[in-house]
């Protein structure tokens, strides 16, 4: 049985006005490892079913890695396919590592000579030169190659990124990058999109350096270490928006393997006044956790609103 409805729709990067049932995730092969020179494999994708590859890859160019001391790490053996990206990370430093994908872009529309044009979204591109989520020293987000969506991945387009003939044979104009909006444009309506997808892996004993908030957008600040959670126990995570507790934020938790269950097992929660959400894990396994919010505090002056999303993958161990 197909379950098309989903509580969180994390497809804002793909379509600013259309909702797609999509869970973005980075799935590690292991979250608690030991030894030296240990390698962990990661799958990165967006899917209808949690941890199942049925929609799109997260682009390898969007992946960022932090070592336990907060310095940038590197991935190796990367392959980006039709439905997922795969890469390895060599854990050469003890402690907790963060592997994430972050994208910030502007979507919307404007009119030029009476004709409406789209900005970003399907076929749009991240802003050139924008720093990556690691701040100074991290590479900026690259523009997509010809024939790719300007999101975390997706279906290829025709030459130049234009759509093929639509209904009645009409060809829709390709979207315009934010910085290329003409000065004479009218009816400009823009939304800032800020999305984060994260997971955490610990080599040896857990550490907390990588959890220091940046104070920008929606972030998760663990109260309980994400690599120290077990079935039947309660873990607490604080959500922040621009460094401040996000009260009343709706949080959704989905156990992996929902493709094979009639009952998805979705857990719906909300943060308290302190931005903290408490999650009691019903059983061991991989879990997807997600949240989203909208406000009127975009960092881009011309934007009218901001849409944020956060998603993380956790491994819950047997007590």
Is 64:138 a contact under the CB 8 Å cutoff? Answer: yes
Is 205:34 a contact under the CB 8 Å cutoff? Answer: no
pLDDT in 10s for each residue of the chain, 319 residues:
434 333 333 333 333 322 334 799 999 999 999 988 799 999 999 999 999 999 999 999 999 999 999 999 999 999 999 999 999 999 999 999 999 999 889 999 999 998 999 998 533 333 333 333 333 233 333 333 323 333 333 333 332 333 343 444 445 678 888 888 999 999 999 999 999 999 999 999 999 999 999 999 999 999 999 999 999 999 999 999 999 999 999 999 999 998 888 889 999 999 999 999 999 999 999 999 999 999 999 998 889 999 999 999 999 999 9
Which of these, 299, 164, 186, 309, lies nearest to 250 by C-alpha position? 309
Supply the pLDDT for residue 121.
52
Supply the pLDDT for residue 76.
97
Domain locations along the chain = 1-319
Supply the pLDDT for residue 239.
98
pTM of the model: 0.77
Supply the pLDDT for residue 37.
73
Supply the pLDDT for residue 22.
75
């Amino acid at each position: 049985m197909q379950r098309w409805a989903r509580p969180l729709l994390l497809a804002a990067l793909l379509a600013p006005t259309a909702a797609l049932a999509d869970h973005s995730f980075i799935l590690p092969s292991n979250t608690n490892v030991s030894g030296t020179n240990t390698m962990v494999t990661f799958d990165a994708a967006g899917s209808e079913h949690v941890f199942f590859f049925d929609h799109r890859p997260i682009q390898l160019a969007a992946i960022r890695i932090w070592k336990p001391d907060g310095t940038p790490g590197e991935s190796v053996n990367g392959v980006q396919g039709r439905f997922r990206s795969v890469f390895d990370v060599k854990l050469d430093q003890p402690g907790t590592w963060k592997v994430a994908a972050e994208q910030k872009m502007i979507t919307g529309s404007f009119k030029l000579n009476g004709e409406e044009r789209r900005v970003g979204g399907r076929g749009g591109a991240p802003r050139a030169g924008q720093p990556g989520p690691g701040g100074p020293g991290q590479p900026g987000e690259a523009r997509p190659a010809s024939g790719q969506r300007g999101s975390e991945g997706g279906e290829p387009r025709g030459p130049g990124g234009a759509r093929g003939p639509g209904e009645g044979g009409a060809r829709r104009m390709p979207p315009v990058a934010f910085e290329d909006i003409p000065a004479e444009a009218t009816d400009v309506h823009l939304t800032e999109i800020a999305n984060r997808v994260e997971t955490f892996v610990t080599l040896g004993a857990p550490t907390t350096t990588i959890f220091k908030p940046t104070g920008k957008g929606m972030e998760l600040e663990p109260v309980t270490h994400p690599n120290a959670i077990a079935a039947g126990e309660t873990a607490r995570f604080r959500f922040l928006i621009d460094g401040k507790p996000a009260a009343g934020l709706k949080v959704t938790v989905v156990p992996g393997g929902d493709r094979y269950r009639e009952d998805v097992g979705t857990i719906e929660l909300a943060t308290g006044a302190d931005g903290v959400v408490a999650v009691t894990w019903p059983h061991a396994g991989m879990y997807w956790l997600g949240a989203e919010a909208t406000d009127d505090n975009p960092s881009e002056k011309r934007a009218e609103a901001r849409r944020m999303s956060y998603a993380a993958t956790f491994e819950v161990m047997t007590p």
